[in-house]
Structure 1
Amino acid sequence: MSEEIWDPGLQSERTRLAWVRTAVALSSGGLGAMGLSARHALPLAVVVTFVPAALCGAALLLRTRTRFRRVQEALHGGRPVDAGLDALFAWLGTLSVAAGALAFVLALA
């Protein structure tokens, strides 16, 4: 008896919404942190550390439709889901936020 990968529930839709939330958090968080850093007149190097977060979030948001379509096709076709590039964007954006937060705190200290 083979295991069925596809479940008729809404798991893929919830996953899509989670990716959208991640993308929006990265892009808006990156833009907000850049604005906050600029308002505090911190060095340009601190402001720029948040740029990759905003760009990664924007890239994830733009890729939402294709990612969802790929996931649906993989699940219906019984193939494994590959989110490598999207996971890399999310990881780089998160790393950028962490580095920017550290630079922000050190610049204010």
Structure 2
Amino acid sequence: MTVLWDEGLQSERTRLAWVRTATVLAAGGLGLGGMALRAGAGPAVAVLFALAALGGAVLLARTGVRYRRVQEALHAGRPLDERTDALLAWSATLAAVAGSLVFVLSR
């Protein structure tokens, strides 16, 4: 039997990476949305940046739950399933990129 649990700090580093990703999406979405509105961009750009900020905020709120589930799965030897959070992070990042692209092309 392969032991999945390691006494190192891999889970903690992964949790910090999720926190950084979520924080950048939330703060970046808000900041870019504000900048776009001040620059006179259309509402579509603001909505895209707001979606990125919302996705980051949801990821940040789920960080504690995700960490607990990872710890439980590792200690029990179960496989990890983080597809929901990965899809949310990917969608929020895509919204930020699409908002940036629309903003740049509209200038």
Structure 1 unaligned runs (5+)? none
Matches within 5 A, 1:51-90: 51-90=50-89
Provide the residue aligned with 1:100 in structure 2. 99
Partners of 1:40 and 1:31 lie apart in 2 by 14
- Aligned-residue offset at 1:45: 1.5
Tell me how many residue pairs correspond in the alignment.
107
Partners of 2:9 and 2:53 lie apart in 1 by 29
- What secondary structure, in the 3-state scheme, does the structure 2 residue paired with 1:49 have? helix
Partners of 1:17 and 1:37 lie apart in 2 by 29
The percent of aligned pairs where both chains have the same amino acid is 59
After superposition, give the CA deviation of every residue in 1:9-58 in whole Å (9 maximum; x if it has no partner): 00000000000000001000100110110110111122111111001000
Partners of 1:97 and 1:24 lie apart in 2 by 13
- What secondary structure, in the 3-state scheme, does the structure 2 residue paired with 1:60 have? helix
TM-score by length of 1: 0.95
TM-score by length of 2: 0.97
Divergent runs of 4+, >6 A? none
* Alignment-mate amino acid for residue 27 of structure 2: S
Partners of 2:99 and 2:50 lie apart in 1 by 9
Structure 2 unaligned runs (5+)? none
Provide the residue aligned with 1:24 in structure 2. 23
